């Protein structure tokens, strides 16, 4: 009986309210009671307090509503792969069925590591398959990196804004997150240096800098080459690791490719050292296979291996064999070129529509690749508050605040152009511009 009366009292005092299943928001008086999400509050670990669901995940249900133009998700256009190509691939895997249906090594099958080294080399990084470790999407890699490096109260530097899914993954380990401002050329190294100096003065232990250098999610901007070198210099000076998350590097449809931080480090240092590179098949093949990877030095990979054993033993053999077969025998580079042609057309449609319809004092980035445009509204506007109105008019986007640990920058929105056809993008931006115009002070 110990503790039970006390905990029920706590629950009563908190007034365990009825909340929406997804958002956790209190149900309004006139709404049907849904579900009591507070019921076991007295049992949850402290780490859960810092964890929140990503706005994009919460929006999923809304996005599948018929008629909605979703500029919200980060979905690649998997329709482009085609049913027939998928059928051929499936029969190729069937030849390896016993292994495909089996458990595999925690770090992944050898065949796929060769494929990954080839993919990384195609992007200009002289990768070594011995330094490759398979994960269940880059998302798991983010979680494992945080698991391996972060104690409660440690600090990390992230771009401001940064990928909301990374904030989610990191939050479970309860770090202090410092956002470093960006401009059109990505994270500003002098600001990163100031933040690192300040953190040191405060006695904080900064463990890593997290960056999405190419066509950043959500900002759409790309880190300039000199800044990549400066970031590496900073990591050496302050003795920390750089987590380079690069899902979009190959989705470039304009301008010259830039070397990855991993490539620069190998060039300067002779080998991989403090750059932990994260890759994924989600954007160059399909997110449904849930496969990504870490390329890092062996000591870090060993710790990540131990972390993954406790998480899911190994990633899907089925997916690994599927990818190996496709990347060894199929025209994956041709497929990426095809995706890029589709995304370029849609990006152009989005930029043109923004220029045509948006009221003045709304600004946006010009991504040279990837999936996202980042729009900035006048500072008095709140994109979160505006979302229900946009959804009522059948357009969805992701409000900017979810891309900051502290929820600031409410006057931003992330707009996705990879999933919806160009005409719908145009229509969606037109409607969105109307919603914004309703609130703009004249």
CB closer to ligand PMP out of 257 and 378: 257
Q: Does 369 bind ligand PMP (CB under 6 A)?
A: no
Stretch of 93-101, 137-145, 307-315, 348-356 contacting ligand PMP, by CB under 6 A:
137-145
Q: What is the DSSP string of 336-376?
A: HHHHHHHHHHHHHHHHHHHHHHSPTT-EE---SBSSEEEEE
CB of 442 to ligand PMP, least distance (A): 37
CB closer to ligand PMP out of 165 and 399: 165
Q: Does 416 bind ligand PMP (CB under 6 A)?
A: no
In contact, 37 and 19? CB cutoff 8 Å: yes
Kindly provide the b/e burial profile for residues 208-234, where b requires at least 16 CB atoms within 10 angstroms of the residue's own CB.
bbbbbbbbbbbbbbbbbeebbbbbbeb
CB closer to ligand PMP out of 127 and 169: 169
CB closer to ligand PMP out of 168 and 324: 168
Identify the residue whose tokens are 């991989």.
272
Q: Which residue is nearest to ligand PMP (CB)?
A: 137
CB closer to ligand PMP out of 304 and 386: 304
Task: Return the ∠ at Cα 131 (arms to 98 and 214), rounded to 5°.
Answer: 105
Neighbours of 442 (CB within 10 A): 4
Q: What is the DSSP string of 399-419?
A: EGGGGSTT---TTEEEEE-SS
Strands 395-396 and 292-295: unpaired
Q: Which of helix, strand or coil describes residue 231?
A: helix
Reading phi first (left if > 0) and then psi (alpha if -120 to 50, else beta), residue 314 is in beta
Tokens at 64, concatenated: 């599948």
CB closer to ligand PMP out of 138 and 206: 138
Identify the residue whose tokens are 């008019």.
393
Q: Does 372 bind ligand PMP (CB under 6 A)?
A: no
Q: Which of helix, strand or coil describes residue 69?
A: strand
CB of 369 to ligand PMP, least distance (A): 13
CB of 169 to ligand PMP, least distance (A): 9
The helices-and-strands tally (H runs, E runs) of the chain is 15, 14
Kindly tell me which residue out of 161, 165, 175, 400 binds ligand PMP, with binding defined by CB under 6 A: 165
Q: Binding string, 63-82, against ligand PMP, x = CB under 6 A?
A: -----------x--------
CB of 162 to ligand PMP, least distance (A): 8
Kindly tell me which residue out of 106, 195, 282, 315 binds ligand PMP, with binding defined by CB under 6 A: 282
Kindly tell me which residue out of 107, 161, 213, 287 binds ligand PMP, with binding defined by CB under 6 A: 287
Identify the residue whose tokens are 């511009």.
433
In contact, 416 and 71? CB cutoff 8 Å: yes
Kindly tell me which residue out of 137, 220, 249, 400 binds ligand PMP, with binding defined by CB under 6 A: 137
Distance CA 367, CA 416 (A): 11
Q: Does 138 bind ligand PMP (CB under 6 A)?
A: yes
Tokens at 95, concatenated: 């030849």
CB closer to ligand PMP out of 285 and 357: 285
Neighbours of 309 (CB within 10 A): 12
DSSP H helices in 81-215? 83-94, 97-100, 110-122, 137-149, 164-171, 189-201
CB closer to ligand PMP out of 211 and 411: 211
CB closer to ligand PMP out of 287 and 428: 287
In contact, 365 and 220? CB cutoff 8 Å: yes
Q: Does 220 bind ligand PMP (CB under 6 A)?
A: no
Q: Does 217 bind ligand PMP (CB under 6 A)?
A: yes
Q: Does 245 bind ligand PMP (CB under 6 A)?
A: yes
Q: Does 412 bind ligand PMP (CB under 6 A)?
A: no
Stretch of 136-144, 149-157, 184-192, 264-272 contacting ligand PMP, by CB under 6 A:
136-144
CB of 141 to ligand PMP, least distance (A): 8
Stretch of 62-70, 109-117, 147-155, 280-288 contacting ligand PMP, by CB under 6 A:
280-288
Stretch of 27-35, 132-140, 184-192, 352-360 contacting ligand PMP, by CB under 6 A:
132-140
Q: Does 168 bind ligand PMP (CB under 6 A)?
A: no
Tokens at 403, concatenated: 């891309």
How many residues of this chain interact with ligand PMP, rule: CB under 6 A?
Answer: 14
Reading phi first (left if > 0) and then psi (alpha if -120 to 50, else beta), residue 122 is in alpha
Residue ranges in contact with ligand PMP by CB under 6 A:
74, 137-139, 163, 165, 212, 217, 245, 247, 280, 282, 287, 292
């Amino acid at each position: 009986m110990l503790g039970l009366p006390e905990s029920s009292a706590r629950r009563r005092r908190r007034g365990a309210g009825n909340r929406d299943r997804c958002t956790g928001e209190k149900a309004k008086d006139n709404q049907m009671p849904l579900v009591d999400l507070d019921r076991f509050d007295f049992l949850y670990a402290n780490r859960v307090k810092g964890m929140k669901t990503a706005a994009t995940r919460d929006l999923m249900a809304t996005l599948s509503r018929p008629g909605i133009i979703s500029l919200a998700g980060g979905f690649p256009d998997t329709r482009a792969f085609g049913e027939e190509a998928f059928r051929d691939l499936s029969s190729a895997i069937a030849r390896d069925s016993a292994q495909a249906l089996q458990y595999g090594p925690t770090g992944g099958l050898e065949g796929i590591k060769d494929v990954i080294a080839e993919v990384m080399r195609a992007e200009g990084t002289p990768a070594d398959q011995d330094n490759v470790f398979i994960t269940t999407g880059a998302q798991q890699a983010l979680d494992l990196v945080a698991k391996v490096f972060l104690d409660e109260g440690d600090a990390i530097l992230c771009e401001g804004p940064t990928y909301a899914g990374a904030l989610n993954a990191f939050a479970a380990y309860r770090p202090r997150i410092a956002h470093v401002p960006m401009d059109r050329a990505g994270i500003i190294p002098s600001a990163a240096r100031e933040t690192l100096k300040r953190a040191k003065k405060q006695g904080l232990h900064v463990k890593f800098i997290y960056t999405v250098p190419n066509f950043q999610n959500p900002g759409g901007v790309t880190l300039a080459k000199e800044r990549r070198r400066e970031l590496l210099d900073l990591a050496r000076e302050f003795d920390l690791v750089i987590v380079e998350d690069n899902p979009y590097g190959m989705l470039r449809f304009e301008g010259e490719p830039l070397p990855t931080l991993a490539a620069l480090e190998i060039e300067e240092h002779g080998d991989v050292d403090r750059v932990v590179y994260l890759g994924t098949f989600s954007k160059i093949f399909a997110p449904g296979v849930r496969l990504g990877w870490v390329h890092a030095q062996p000591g870090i990979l060993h710790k990540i291996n131990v972390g993954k054993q406790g998480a899911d033993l190994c990633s899907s053999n089925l997916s690994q064999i599927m990818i190996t077969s496709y990347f060894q025998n199929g025209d994956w580079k041709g497929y990426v070129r095809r995706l890029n042609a589709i995304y370029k057309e849609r990006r152009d449609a989005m930029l043109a529509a923004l220029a045509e319809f948006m009221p003045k004092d709304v600004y946006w980035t010009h991504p040279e690749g990837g999936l996202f445009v980042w729009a900035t509204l006048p500072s008095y506007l709140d994109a979160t508050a505006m979302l229900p109105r946009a959804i009522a008019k059948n357009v969805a986007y992701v409000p900017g605040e979810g891309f900051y640990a502290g929820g600031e920058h409410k006057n931003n929105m992330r707009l996705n152009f990879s999933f919806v056809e160009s005409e719908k993008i145009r229509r969606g931006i037109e409607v969105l511009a109307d919603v914004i115009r309703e609130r703009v002070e004249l």
